[in-house]
Structure 1
Amino acid sequence: MRRADASSRRPRRRIPGDASRHHSGPRAASSRKHALIMRQLSVPAYLMACLLLGGASAAGYMANLTLQLAAILVLYIALFWRRRGPISPPSRQLLVLAALFVGLFLIQIVPLPPALWTSLPGREPILRGFELLGVPAPWLPISLNAQHTLASLFWMLPALAVLLGITLLGGYKASYLAWTILAVAAVSVAVGGIQVAGGENSPWYLYQITNRGVAVGFFSNANHLATMLLAAIPLLTAVVLSERGRGKNTARSSGIAVIGAAVFLVIALGLILNRSLAGWGLALPVLGASLLLFLSHRRKLPKWALGGAAIAAVGGVALVLTAPLGNNLTTDEARTSSTSRYASFGRTLSATPEYLPTGSGIGTFVDVYRSREDPSQITRFYMNHAHSDLLEVLLETGLFGAALLLLFLIWWTRRVFAIWHDAESDSFTKAATIVSATVMAHSLVDYPLRTVAISAIFAMSIALMAEPRAHSRRSKAKTESDVRHLSAD
């Protein structure tokens, strides 16, 4: 008898497709299902954390640090655990813009040789300082304060995490995101009601520097709660339309309508208790756009509808700025106050040309503004932001930031027209256009994007605009892979 070859005694390898693979089928399917659930809940859960903890820009450092550390984890998962499905062209364009945005931060903190940075506008005082000390000029970056620029980049990590979590990871359902914002908005109104009832010394105010006497919820600034409440209105409309479209049951439709009306009344009460002039001014155009969203669910809107909504938005803002409602931008009192928007806008605009074309550096507004204040008017209060994100971006980033902002506005405008003229665009995608427009409009006269909570909402909205959901995809959901299900409502 021949001795058996040693290789014949080795255990057989399992090869793809043999019978042994089927034993792990249920376990693999269960694993895929759990991974799908984790993906769908990851971004909504992180968004909720941003809304609850990221309500301040100049306060809440530990809460914001926690969100930044968590953002690093979300970004890691989004970059290295990407979905297998293709990324839409609008998403790729948005990711390129995000990369350019991050690149702008990095360019501003790269040290430059003295011959280069001393030739930049606005650097003469720095150079004179080294000359008075008798010290050779060192290598310095474009930013007047590189530490603040780097800190500002860390501050934007949560928004980037939400953006990449949607566009790359695909870990979300639009309805989950909407319900997250609606839930936090409703709780914020309840907290705001307790704050108002307790008076200016109420212990329910979460931040020491805040707008006491009005409802601020989980924010430190009343205007920023107003921004979130306004964003909740079109999202509420989208949720109602989505839930009504799931069935023809009359009782179910009636119940959804009642719940939607109740949530809307809560939001309206919040805006009243909040007393934000910008919130009141933007309420009318937001309501009008939400009505267009509701009507577009069953019929095609006329071409002038979007133009009419834009005119209403301009009219709402103009009403607040011109009406005698006590705004601190156009009133006579604002012109004589050193802490008004009138003073802030004027000084920011006058300082901007001195730092063109590179800007003073992201995060350097306070340093630049203090250098231009009248010493006789300095009090214990100071301007932490320009109260206009547009003006602050122009001061800190110069022509490069303005060009990047223009590119984004072109992308955003094209997406708005594409979404609203596509009969198959779903309600959440259209609601996202209203939300993003609301945040940008408010940013003209305030700094909502400087808070983690509002920047996360804005990132969510533009990500939804980049990842459009068509009604027709729902009927195909059962025939697509598990990964493709991630992009289904």
Structure 2
Amino acid sequence: MRHLTWLAGSASFKQLALLLIATFLMGGSTRPDVMSLIVLRPLSVLIFACGCWTLRHEQWRQAPFLCSMAVATTALLLLHLVPLPPVLWQSLPQRMTIATLDHAAGLGVVWRPLSMAPSLTWNALFALAVPLAVLVHGLQLSHEDLRRLMVLVLVAGAISVLLGFMQMLGDADTGPYLYRLSSRGTAVGLFANRNHQAVFLTTLLPMLAFLTTERDTLARHRGRTLFLLFAAVAVLMVILLLLGSRAGLVCGIFGLLSVAIMVRLRMSGMRERPHWIGTAVIIGFSIVAILIVIAVASGQATSVRHALNSSSSDDLRFLVWPVAWRSALVLLPWGSGIGTYQPVFQMFEPAGMLRSTYSNHAHSDWLEVVMTGGIPGVVLLVAMVAGFGGALRLAWQRRRLSGTALAWTGLVIILLCGIGSFADYPLRAPIMSALFVLACLWVRTGLDRRTLHDSGVPQHQAGSSNDLRA
């Protein structure tokens, strides 16, 4: 019954739960012209303002890295929107093309910002409202409240799976798709893009492993919970095979490994570990593997067929990446401005790549950040990777402590999002950006010394506060 009382909690918990529900319903697309953003973004700004009003000084001081990254990212976007003197912005790479157009249009001397498409950078700035609102409210929540939000995410995942089945069984033109421009004919669920749905489903795997291997749950329903875990993992893996997303398939493999590792670590921490646990894990994952083999052998594994049958010349992203990389080098050191990929890429796009469709993103967020953010964007990426590495090292040192299970869950989700971003842009969907921040909060609270102490861990084993701030 504890999971059914997730609505009980502080005002910050209720506001954050409301925001997450709205985000799952209206934040599955990355396009700036989606009508649902008219509701979602003002709601996010309002909830963000309420969170800033109630956020106490000691709360944001306990998460210096997360707050610093949030401030630095916001500051970078704001700097890209500050109007600059004509002499200054015209000296930047590729800006003379814009100056020539200004002269031809008779605009005269114009002060322009660093961004080559300010309206798109403004859109990127507004898109930060959802993850920032999640952050300021998440910092005010307890360990238990943050853990309960995981149940809400899993419920949304179940709805996305069910909606995906309805989309697969229905007509591609009249099916229950939430967005007009969607990957029609595939089980995109709450999303508009099948790759984003696939990455989202893989993030459910570590959450399922965390909740089903909790000490209280195992003490009461060991066999039932492990059976439900393996059944859910099997369903998710089969859906990933049917989605046709290669990025999702790769993330699914890592997610499947994370489930096995997390189950093993959680079981090893039990004082009275049943002798049949190892056998159950082996049998469970053998069943999952058999289902995957059946899906592949029957020809229904669209992701596998897509990976085997697609050549580099057939996939647009393999044509886009070299052009995007060359343009990124030309636009150094400041980039073209966050969110400006589409019009800027068209300036560098060779005639041989012209077709009826257009490249809306680089299909590699790591590369797109370098292109649009320049060296400051690279610095933010390096800081993010360094922070992840530090948290991973600390979690590994404390892997035997029961309180770090939540941190491991968050780390796996961050890793899956990072892997998915190598060949796509899942974090640009509001749902995934909110989930990413939630994962960061799970890592922080899972490594918190007070959390470990409250979980029954001796305080001298929990490490120093300096380790937590690293």
- Which TM-score band (shorter chain)? 0.7 to 0.9
Q: How many residues align?
A: 413
One-letter identity of the residue aligned with 2:87: A
Letter in 2 for 1:40: F
Deviation at 1:453, TM superposition (A): 0.8
Among candidates 366, 379, 388, match of residue 403 of structure 1 = 379
**CA offset at residue 167 of structure 1?**
1.8
* Residues 171 and 148 (structure 1), Cα distance of their counterparts in 2 relative to 1, 3 Å cut: farther
Deviations 1:199-222 (A, max 9, x none): 423421222222122211111111
State how far apart, in whole Å, the 2-side matches of 1:135 and 1:257 are: 68
Do 1:278 and 1:442's aligned partners in 2 also have CA atoms closer than 8 Å?
Answer: yes
Residue-by-residue CA offset, 1:136-168 (whole Å, 9 max, x unaligned): 332111001112111111012101111222124
Cα offset for 1:170? Answer: 5.2
Q: Does 1:465 align with 2:459?
A: no
The Cα shift of 1:385 comes to: 0.8
Alignment of 1:129-148 (within 5 A): 129-133=101-105, 135-148=107-120
- Does 2:226 match 1:254? no
Shift of 1:79: 1.2
TM-score (norm 1): 0.78
Change (3 A) 1:135 1:219: closer
Are 2:145 and 1:173 aligned?
Answer: yes
Q: Distance in 2 between matches of 1:324 and 1:432?
A: 28
Q: For residues 321 and 397 of structure 2, what CA distance do their matches in structure 1 show? A: 37
| Structure 1 residue 298: Cα displacement | 4.0
Deviations 1:431-480 (CA, angstroms, capped at 9, x unpaired): 1100010001100100101111111111111122122254431469xxxx
**Partner deviation per Cα, 1:100-156 (whole Å, 9 max, x = no partner):** 100000000001111211111111212223344565332111001112111111012
- The reply to whether residue 96 of structure 1 matches residue 68 of structure 2 is yes
Matched to 2:340, the amino acid is: T
Q: Using the alignment, how far apart are the partners of 1:60 and 1:140 within structure 2?
A: 24
Amino acid at match of 2:198: A
Deviation larger for 450-459 or 417-426 = 417-426
Instruction: Check whether the contact 1:166–1:463 (CA below 8 A) recurs between aligned residues.
Output: yes
Which structure 2 segments of 5+ residues have no match? 1-6, 270-302, 458-470
Alignment pair present for 1:456 and 2:421: no
Q: Is the 8 A contact 2:166 2:176 kept in 1?
A: yes
Query: Which residue matches 1:486?
Result: none
Contact 1:111–1:141 (CA under 8 A) maintained in structure 2 = yes
Contact 1:40 1:171 in 2 (8 A): no
* CA deviations over 1:2-44 (Å, ceiling 9, x no partner): xxxxxxxxxxxxxxxxxxxxxxxxxxxxxxxx99443333323
Equivalent in 19, 33, 38 of residue 46 of structure 1: 19
Residues 16-31 of structure 1 mapped to structure 2, 5 A cutoff: none
The reply on whether 1:223 has 2:195 as its aligned counterpart is yes
**Where does residue 75 of structure 1 map in the other structure?**
48
Percent of matched pairs sharing the same residue: 26
The answer for unaligned runs of 5 or more in structure 1 is 1-33, 301-322, 477-489
Please say if residues 163 and 460 of structure 1, whose CA atoms lie closer than 8 Å, have aligned partners that are also in contact. Answer: yes
- Sort the Cα spacing of 1:107 and 1:60 in 2 relative to 1 into closer, same or farther, 3 A: closer
- Take 1:98 and 1:86, find their aligned partners in 2: how far apart are those partners? 15
Larger Rg: 1
Q: Alpha-carbon deviation of 1:430?
A: 0.8
Measured in 1, the distance between the counterparts of 2:54 and 2:104 equals 54
Q: 1:239–1:406: structure 2 CA closer, same or farther, 3 Å change rule?
A: same
**Structure 1 pair 297–154 and aligned structure 2 pair: CA distance change class (3 A):** same
Residues 101/87 of structure 1: CA separation in 2 closer, same or farther (3 Å cut): closer
Paired residue type of 2:134: V
State the secondary structure of the residue aligned to 1:384. coil
Aligned partner of 2:182 in structure 1 is 210
- 2:259 alignment partner AA: S
Cross-structure match for 2:216: 245
Q: Which residue of 2 aligns with 1:112?
A: 84
CA distance in 2, matches of 1:248, 1:230: 27
Distance 1:86 1:363 in 2: 31
- Residue 65 of structure 1 aligns with which residue? 38
Paired residue for 1:275?
Answer: 244
Q: Distance in 2 between matches of 1:376 and 1:299?
A: 58
- Match in the other structure for 1:420: 396
Alignment partner, residue 372 of structure 1 = 348
Distance 1:44 1:412 in 2: 26
Distance 1:145 1:360, change over 3 A: same
SS state of the match for residue 218, structure 1? coil
Measured on the aligned residues, the alpha-carbon RMSD in Å equals 2.6
Q: Distance in 2 between matches of 1:331 and 1:271?
A: 17
Contact 1:195 1:202 in 2 (8 A): no
Aligned residue for 1:312?
A: none
User: 1: distance between equivalents of 2:144 and 2:377?
Assistant: 31
> Given the alignment of the two structures, is residue 443 of structure 1 paired with residue 421 of structure 2, yes or no?
yes
- Whether 2:383 is the aligned partner of 1:383: answer no
Distance 1:358 1:120 in 2: 8
Change (3 A) 1:133 1:268: closer
Structure 2 distance, partners of 1:150, 1:170, is 33
Decide which of 318, 330, 355 is 1:354's aligned counterpart.
Answer: 330
Q: Structure 1's 58 and 87: CA in aligned 2 closer, same or farther, altered over 3 A?
A: closer
Q: Distance in 1 between matches of 2:349 and 2:378?
A: 25
CA offset at residue 266 of structure 1?
A: 3.2
What secondary structure sits across from 1:183 in the alignment? helix
- Provide closer, same or farther for how the CA distance between residues 135 and 224 of structure 1 changes in structure 2, counting only shifts above 3 A: closer
Indicate the structure whose relative CO is greater, using CA pairs within 8 Å and at least 6 residues apart.
1
Matches within 5 A, 1:284-303: 284-299=253-268
Equivalent residue letter for 2:223: S
* Separation in structure 2 between the aligned mates of residue 324 and residue 235 of structure 1, nearest angstrom: 25
* Greater displacement, 77-86 / 276-285: 77-86
Superposition deviation, residue 390 in structure 1: 0.7
Q: Structure 1 410/377 Cα, relative in aligned 2: closer, same or farther at 3 Å? A: closer
Q: Could you tell which deviates more after superposition, 98-107 or 136-145?
A: 136-145
Q: Indicate the larger mover: 466-475 or 147-156.
A: 466-475
Q: Deviations over 1:335-381 (max 9, x none)?
A: 2x5x7111111211111112110100111111111222345653331
**Offset at residue 86 of structure 1 (A):** 4.6
Task: Please state how far the C-alpha of 1:416 moved relative to its aligned partner.
Answer: 1.4
Cα separation, partners in 2 of 1:275 and 1:117, compared to 1, 3 Å = same
The structure-2 alpha-carbon separation of the partners of 1:143 and 1:171, relative to structure 1 and needing over 3 Å to count, comes to: farther
| Distance of aligned partners of 1:85 and 1:139 in 2 relative to their CA distance in 1, 3 Å threshold | closer
